[in-house]
Structure 1
Amino acid sequence: MKYVDYYQVLGVSRDASLDDIKKAYRKLAHKYHPDVSKEADAEDQFKQIAEAYATLKDPEKRQAYDNLGRHPQGEEFVPPQGWQQGFNEGYGNFADVDLADLMAAFAAAQGGGKHHTRRGMRGEDFEITVPVTLEQIYSGAETDITVALPELDEHGLMHRRPRTFRVQVPKGAADGQRLRLPGKGGPGLNGGKNGDLYLIMRLQPHRLFRVDGQDLFIDLPLAPWEAVLGAVVQVPTPGGQVELTVPAGTTSDRKLRLSRRGLPGAQGAPGNLYAQVRIDVPKQPTARELELFSQMAGESAFDPRAQLYAGA
């Protein structure tokens, strides 16, 4: 069989602690996960990383692996004679077995001992990014999410299995907020508790509103005469349309505040909605509109660029 240097696969030293091994595995598993990696050999890399982790995180498997000695990566080798004892006859001279099968066989042999006991190990915690909408965090909402979570099979190899959860998006949740689903992470080993699943809520862009904390911003187009004369206009908010009074003489970029019309706070008062004025003009004015604008241009003494010449 070919020797695989599991320490080299994970990029850790042979005396690495369990925490170091876990950190290295999480980093590499994320990098080469077939769902996110663009590497051509991502799936093969991911499988080898999972094999290495399944062996080195288990104290007994790790000790057995270390007992094989050190060999160059990929070298053909035969396990020491002592390894022949205690395994099924089908493993014979190990010529048709790979290293992962060998370690799985060792674990099975060790687990069959009459007086053998193994300490329960808590399952791994997982973090998944979940898209949420502004409408969901404004009102709070239940939603189904389906995620492909890594899962170890009976041989300690990693596979992905789709799992669906019904979750409650909290009212007033913040972008990046973590939602914990206890016991929905990796399965525990030898009677250990399951890990937790953490959903990281990522707020999706909205077609109308820009979000800044609990405050919302929206562009408010006004006709030139509405800005000059003032007007009462309808403005959309997450809770429905409301009336907004535009003062006479409103200039472009002015922010008109609608108090408490922003996002709700998880604790405390909701934010505000700010309507940012953008003065628009007719793209295809009628003949009468052109006549009126021409008349105003001829009679008005207003110079919007006067301040550019001040002090010149």
Structure 2
Amino acid sequence: MSKDFYKVLGLNKNATPDEIKKAYRKMALQYHPDKNKEPGAEDKFKNVSEAYDVLSDPEKRKTYDRIGSSQKLPFKNRHADFYDPFTAFSNPKGYSRVWFTENSRSGPSSSSTFSFETDDPFRIFERFFGTNNPFQAFDSELENHISIFDTPQLHFTSFPSTSKKRRFRQQAPTYKTLEITLEDILNGVTKKMKVVSKVYDDDGVEFKENERILEIKVRPGVRNDSQIVFPKAGNKMPGESCQADIIFILHEKPHPLFIRQGTWGQDLKYVAKVSLKEALCGVAISVPLLEGNGQTYRLEVSNKVLHTKSEIRITGKGLPYSTDSTTNFNSNSKKELDKRGDIIVIFDIIFPEMLSQNSKKKLNMALP
């Protein structure tokens, strides 16, 4: 009997190219020898591959439709000879040749011979899926289905598994950068960001785009490079059981006046410029505060000589303390501590470009 390639793939003769691909995708994964050890599975895998190789090629399919499957009769009864292509799987190249001989209407003495090669089923599988083993990323701890991750040639599909456990696959998180200022870190802030996620259906073919506005709540004292996680708010690609997480990485913008430092990022370094005279004789400076609105702290230095390594702390005027580097948006770990760090004032001493001889003499006499 001839092989009905349409029947092998569970299709009718009017099947579209997409339906042929979908049928092959499902059955090739179901009967692949690496996963299906049942008797006869490998033969079914070979038959499915042969059917796909013929029907997916427009010219081969046209020839097959005209000669190879017009009747459900043995080929010899239709004046055509059919040689099982899988008898050639043992050859070095892995190719099989299918021959069709058709007698013309003018009589048995006139005939046309058609032939085409079908490739090794494992090569067909590798061309289609982009890998010779799409199962390697998965273990046997799947319960009802084994999901195959999408490659450029592969859409999502699944096939039954006998394992009693199930492991859900989720795409790697999508990372986005969110810039924040020191003022945001001082007071906390809520930022809104529009995200568009692409969500494929279970067949891995159709998808829809979901647009939503995420409210990103940045708590006071949050550290640079902290992460805020929105679970299952990202893309769901073919082969994945749920949407990916979106993770916002907080990036601290440089500030024109302060540099953040300290173990928890609670302190602010401020550089005050003073003249050599002020460094030696004393100075009163106004240190700006992060609260803004022109607020300053008056710092008087009169009882000490300032030098380039001098530091003076203004207690409690820095940033709030933070002990978490990662925040899960749906968790309750958003406790804010009232304690604040310090402003650390260091000094940039400006030396005069020139001194008169008289000034030098006076300094020479005054300085130890």
- TM-score, normalising length: structure 1: 0.54
Within 5 Å, which residues of 2 pair with 1:217-296? Answer: 217-240=269-292, 241-248=296-303, 249-266=305-322, 267-281=337-351, 294-296=357-359
Q: CA deviation at 1:103?
A: 5.0
Aligned partners of 1:251 and 1:277 also within 8 Å:
yes
Paired with 2:242 and 2:218, the residues of 1 have a C-alpha distance of 25
| Partner residue in 1 for 2:219 | 170
Which of structures 1 and 2 has the larger relative contact order (alpha carbons within 8 angstroms, sep 6+)?
1
Are 1:122 and 1:187, in contact at CA under 8 Å, matched by a contact in 2? no
1:253, 1:278 within 8 Å by CA — same for their partners in 2?
A: no
DSSP 3-state at the match of 1:82: helix
Deviation of 1:257 (Å): 0.8
Where does 1:20-59 land on structure 2 (aligned, <5 Å)? none
- 1:93 and 2:55 equivalent? yes
The answer to whether 1:214 aligns with 2:255 is no
1:300 matched residue in structure 2? 363
Within 2, Cα distance between the matches of 1:181 and 1:122? 17
For residues 223-249 of structure 1, give each alpha carbon's deviation from its aligned partner in whole angstroms, at most 9, with x where no partner exists. Answer: 122222212211123123221112342
SS class of match (2:55) = coil
Residue 200 of structure 2 corresponds to residue 137 of structure 1: no
Confirm or deny: 8 A CA contact 2:28 2:48 kept in the other structure.
no
Residue identity in the other structure for 2:173: F
What amino acid does structure 1 have at the position aligned with 2:359?
M
| CA distance in 2: counterparts of 1:146 and 1:303, whole angstroms | 67
Offset, 1:107: 3.5
1:223–1:156 CA distance, 2 compared to 1 (3 A): farther
* Residues 277 and 123 of structure 1, relative CA distance in 2, 3 Å threshold: same
> Does residue 185 in structure 1 map to residue 234 in structure 2?
yes
- Contact map agreement 1:127 1:198 (CA 8 A) in 2: yes
Equivalent pairs, count: 219
CA RMSD of aligned residues (A): 4.6
Following TM superposition, by how much is the alpha carbon of 1:281 offset from its aligned partner in structure 2, in angstroms?
Answer: 3.9
Assess, with a 3 A threshold, how the Cα gap between structure 1 residues 196 and 178 changes in structure 2: closer, same or farther. same
Q: Which has the larger radius of gyration?
A: 2
Contact 1:125 1:197 in 2 (8 A): no
Q: Distance in 1 between matches of 2:290 and 2:32?
A: 61
Distance 1:253 1:180, change over 3 A: same
Provide structure 2 residue ranges, at least 5 long, that are not aligned to the other structure. Answer: 1-25, 36-44, 59-123, 130-151, 161-165, 323-336
Deviations 1:178-235 (A, max 9, x none): 2121331343989955443222223233232221121111211001222222122111
Say which SS state the counterpart of residue 265 (structure 1) adopts: coil
AA at the equivalent of 1:272: D
Measure, in 2, the Cα distance between the counterparts of 1:281 and 1:147.
54
- Aligned counterpart, 2:90: none
Q: Secondary structure at the match of 2:215?
A: strand
CA–CA distance in 2 between the matches of 1:83 and 1:242? 80
* Conserved 8 A contact 1:219-1:275: yes
Aligned residue in 2 for 1:13: none
CA distance in 1, matches of 2:361, 2:27: 91
Q: Is the contact between residue 286 and residue 297 of structure 2 (CA under 8 Å) also seen in structure 1?
A: yes
After superposition, the C-alpha distances for 1:136-157 in whole angstroms (9 at most, x for unaligned) are 2121112234567676576469
Kindly tell me: are residues 107 and 83 of structure 1, through their superposed partners in 2, closer, same or farther at Cα, counting changes over 3 Å? farther
Whether the 8 Å CA contact 2:286–2:299 is kept in 1: the answer is yes
Amino acid at match of 2:249: I
Structure 1 stretches of 5 or more lacking a match? Answer: 1-59, 70-78, 112-118, 307-312
Contact 1:182/1:195, CA 8 A, preserved across alignment: yes
Output the TM-score relative to the length of structure 2. 0.47
CA distance in 2 between counterparts of 1:279 and 1:129 reads 42
Per-residue CA distance 1:34-84 (angstroms, 9 max, x = gap): xxxxxxxxxxxxxxxxxxxxxxxxxx7893484599xxxxxxxxx833247
- 2:46 maps to what in 1? 80
The structure that is helix-richer by fraction is: 1
